Structure formats: structure tokens, C-alpha cells
């Protein structure tokens, strides 16, 4: 599986995305032919440049027709008639659909009434279609993205001066990890946000992969603080079957009982926690206490935080993001004298009987758990010989 990781440490825009993908090896001549088939009258340039000493490609869209206000259906008609692959058409259409829905919600109007202002301009249409075509040319199977640097300050729009992220950008990024660092300018544009949010399967740490290529797409400005580029990394999926970002929730507690904390751990696991641990710690003023730590999927973070507040005496939580790696594994079922047990088998050949299966059989048979575990391991080893 070919992966493309969008490393948006300086934000993301449409032209930065196209430039980075060309820099990573997308056929620029084929891309230009595809964009010319849109019939906008625009011409295209790829400029080799640098940002803070990093060599990058800058994608330019020059000229085009003067019709700046378009409805969604007008843009989709352009895409439908162009000489693009089915996948490029589908992705371009999906990005504009997502963008249209965000604009409609921000302005409180029906999707059919949305006028695409800056986003409906020729350069933005070509950026979105160009990115879709470039992903296709590179034969990318799945796209992942880092958290997005939105920038800060204000931005001039047709609706006046607005804070960053602009309303449509903020709507698009709802539920996605973002932050603001660097100069007080807009770093993530509505076009860039729409591309990332629509096409990326996941946001977070880089997935486990073997890197086969990189590319840098230049932004308009050259900052003193950092290189104003979008980096893309191409690679093949490797090793770990699971490589994700997790949320880690922690609290120090010195005024609770073991019974309450034990029950809280049960409730957290029932609510979807990936793991819950409890450690003895020495807190301020020499007070003994407990550190409860919860590992969770990012989307379950708030739900589990609510459980921690409800079921423990803590008044505050520490929440941070961490990377998680899980080795590739498969399940095989074996027969023991007391019933079936599932065996978890890792990619390196190591294995472990499923605890809950063994626990159930031990309780039902009256046989000690350690004997059930040994019988399951022996049955698996016999089957592999």
C-alpha cells in the first residue's frame, strides 16, 4: 500500500499541496494536460525556489476567465467534462462538496445557494483538481496528515477582516487536531483544509512506513521563523499493522479509596479505554496517592474524561497526545481439554493465549488458570510443528 503523509508544520494550501506532490515526483506535464482540459483558460508554471534554505517547488496558476463567483454545480460541471481519471474526478468532487457544505453552514444558507468567492476562483479550482490528479499520478492508496498549523492573526476576505482560522476553515477543521505556531498570518487556507480533511484517512503521527520519496511545496511568503513549505512523504506500509495517535489522560489522586479507584478502572474500560493503569505515587507534602492513566482513541477522549470526573475525586486532568505502535498480529483458535482458546500470534512468531478465554475455562472447569494457559500454549505449539 502506497502512503502519502502530509506534514503540515507550516500549514497547508492548495498550491502548496500541488507543488509538494510535483516535487515528490508527480508528472508535471501530465498534470498540466489534465488541468488544461478544464477549459478555464489558465496557464501553469512550476517554479523551483527555496524557503529558509529548503529547496521546494512553487505551483502557479496564471490568468483564466474572469468569472469569480460560481455555484457548486458550475464547478462540478467543469470537473465532469474534463479529461480526468474517475478517481481524480471523485476526489475533486468530494473536496468541493465538503467545502460547499462548510460555506453553507457558516453563512446559514442552502448548499445550492452557496457562491464560491475566493474558493471559486480559477486558481483554487485548479489547485484542488491538481492535487487530486497528482495523488492519482503518484498512485497513492491512502493519505494521512499531521495536525495542521493554522497560523494566527487575521485575514482579509470578501466578508471583511476575520480572525485566523477563517470561518470556513474552522468549520472544516472541526474535530481535527490543529495548533497555531509561527508568524501571525493565515497558514492553512480553506482550500488546503478541504483537501486534507476530505482526502486524509487519519490525522496524527506518521504511519509506519518505509519512505520512498519526499517533496516540498513552497508557500507564498518566506518566513524567518521556519521554512514555509508543506512536506509530503511517500512510502510503503511496513511492519506494524497499527500505527496511530492516542490520547493519554492522567490524574493524581490522594483522597480516594481502592474500591472507588478499582470501580473507576472498570468503568473506563467499559467506556472504550484502550488501557487503564494505576500506580502508587508520593505526592506533594509527602502524601501517598495514586496515578491513574488512561490510553484512549482521540475520538473517545472527552467521553473518558467525563467518566474520570464522574467516577473519581479528581478536579483536573492532564491530557496529551502520544504515538502508538502495535505489531502485526493474527488470531488462531486451538482446542484444549477444557474448551477452545484463541491464541494471539505476532508477526515475529511470538504468541500468547487470550486471557479472557482461559479465565472463562478456568472458572467453568475449576482448573487453575495457570494450567489452562499452559494447555493452550502446548496445543498451539503442537499445531505449528
* Residue ranges per structural domain of the chain: 2-239, 243-326, 329-384
d(CA 193, CA 10): 13
Can you give the C-alpha Rg of the chain in angstroms?
26
Residue 287 CB neighbours (<10 A): 11
- SS3 letters across the chain: CEEEEEECECECCHHHHHHHHHHCCCCHHHHHHHHHCCCCCEEEEEEEEEECCEEEEEEEEEECCCCCCECHHHHHHHHHHCCCCHHHHHHHHHHHHHHHHHHHHHHCCCHHHCCECHHHCHHHHHHHHHHHHHHHHCCCCEEEECCEECECCEEEECCEEEECCCHHHHHHCCCCCEECCCCCCECCCHHHHHHHHHHEEEECCCCCEEEEEEEEEECCCCCCCCCCEEEEEEEEECCCCEEEEEEEEEEEECCCCHHHHHHHHHHHHHCCCCEEEEEEEECHHHCEEEEEEEEECHHHHHHHHHHHHHHCCCCCCEEEEEEEEECCEEEEEEEECCEEEEEEEECCCCEEECHHHHHHHHHHHCCCHHHHHHHHHHHHHHHHC
Q: Is the domain 329-384 a CATH 3.10.20.300 member?
A: yes
Please report the pLDDT score of residue 246 as a whole number.
86
Domain at 243-326, CATH from 3.40.50.1820, 3.30.70.1380, 3.40.50.150, 3.40.50.10420: 3.30.70.1380
Please report the pLDDT score of residue 68 as a whole number.
55
Name 375's Cβ contacts closer than 8 Å, sequence gap at least 6: 336, 337, 338
d(CA 269, CA 248): 14
Task: Report yes or no: 249 and 264 within 8 Å, Cβ to Cβ.
Answer: no
What tens-digit pLDDT sequence spans the chain (385 residues)?
899 999 999 999 999 999 999 999 999 999 999 999 999 989 999 999 999 999 999 999 998 765 556 788 889 999 999 999 999 999 999 999 999 899 889 888 888 777 665 555 888 899 999 999 999 999 999 999 999 999 999 888 777 888 999 999 999 999 898 999 999 999 999 999 999 999 998 888 888 788 999 999 999 999 998 999 999 999 998 755 555 678 899 999 999 999 999 999 999 999 999 999 999 999 988 889 999 999 998 878 899 999 999 999 999 999 998 877 777 778 899 999 999 999 998 877 889 999 999 999 999 999 999 999 999 999 999 887 6
Please report the pLDDT score of residue 347 as a whole number.
73
Amino acid at each position: 500500500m502506497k502512503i502519502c503523509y502530509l506534514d503540515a508544520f507550516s500549514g497547508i494550501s492548495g498550491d502548496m499541496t500541488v507543488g509538494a506532490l510535483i516535487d515528490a515526483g508527480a508528472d508535471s506535464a501530465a498534470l498540466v494536460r489534465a488541468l488544461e482540459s478544464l477549459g478555464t483558460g489558465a496557464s501553469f508554471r512550476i517554479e523551483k525556489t527555496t524557503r529558509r534554505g529548503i529547496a521546494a517547488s512553487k505551483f502557479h496558476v496564471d490568468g483564466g476567465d474572469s468569472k469569480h463567483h460560481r455555484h457548486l454545480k458550475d464547478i462540478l460541471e467543469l470537473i465532469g467534462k474534463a479529461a480526468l481519471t474517475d478517481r481524480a474526478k471523485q476526489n475533486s468532487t468530494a473536496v468541493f462538496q465538503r467545502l460547499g457544505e462548510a460555506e453553507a453552514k457558516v453563512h446559514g444558507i442552502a448548499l445550492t445557494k452557496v457562491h464560491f468567492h475566493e474558493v471559486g476562483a480559477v486558481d483554487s479550482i485548479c489547485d484542488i483538481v491538481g492535487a487530486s490528479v497528482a495523488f492519482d499520478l503518484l498512485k497513492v492508496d491512502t493519505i494521512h496528515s499531521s495536525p495542521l498549523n493554522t497560523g494566527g492573526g487575521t485575514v482579509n476576505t470578501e466578508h471583511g477582516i476575520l480572525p485566523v482560522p477563517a470561518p470556513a476553515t474552522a468549520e472544516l477543521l472541526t474535530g481535527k487536531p490543529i495548533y497555531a505556531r509561527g508568524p501571525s498570518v493565515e497558514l492553512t487556507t480553506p482550500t488546503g483544509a478541504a483537501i486534507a480533511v476530505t482526502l486524509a484517512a487519519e490525522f496524527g503521527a506518521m504511519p509506519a512506513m518505509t519512505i520512498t520519496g519526499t517533496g516540498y511545496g513552497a508557500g507564498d511568503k518566506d518566513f524567518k521563523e521556519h521554512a514555509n513549505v508543506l512536506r509530503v512523504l511517500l512510502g510503503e506500509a511496513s511492519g506494524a499493522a497499527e500505527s496511530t495517535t492516542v490520547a493519554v489522560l492522567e490524574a493524581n489522586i490522594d483522597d480516594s479509596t481502592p474500591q472507588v479507584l478499582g470501580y473507576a478502572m472498570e468503568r473506563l474500560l467499559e467506556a472504550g479505554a484502550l488501557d487503564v493503569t494505576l500506580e502508587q505515587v508520593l505526592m506533594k507534602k509527602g502524601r501517598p496517592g495514586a496515578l491513574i492513566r488512561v490510553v484512549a482513541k482521540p475520538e473517545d477522549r472527552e467521553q473518558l474524561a467525563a467518566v474520570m470526573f464522574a467516577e473519581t475525586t479528581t478536579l483536573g486532568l492532564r491530557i496529551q497526545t502520544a504515538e502508538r505502535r502495535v505489531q502485526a498480529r493474527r488470531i488462531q483458535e486451538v482446542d484444549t481439554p477444557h474448551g477452545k482458546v484463541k491464541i494471539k500470534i505476532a508477526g515475529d512468531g511470538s504468541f500468547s493465549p487470550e486471557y479472557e478465554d482461559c479465565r472463562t475455562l478456568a472458572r467453568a472447569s475449576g482448573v487453575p488458570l495457570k494450567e489452562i494457559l499452559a494447555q493452550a500454549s502446548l496445543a498451539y505449539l503442537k499445531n505449528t510443528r
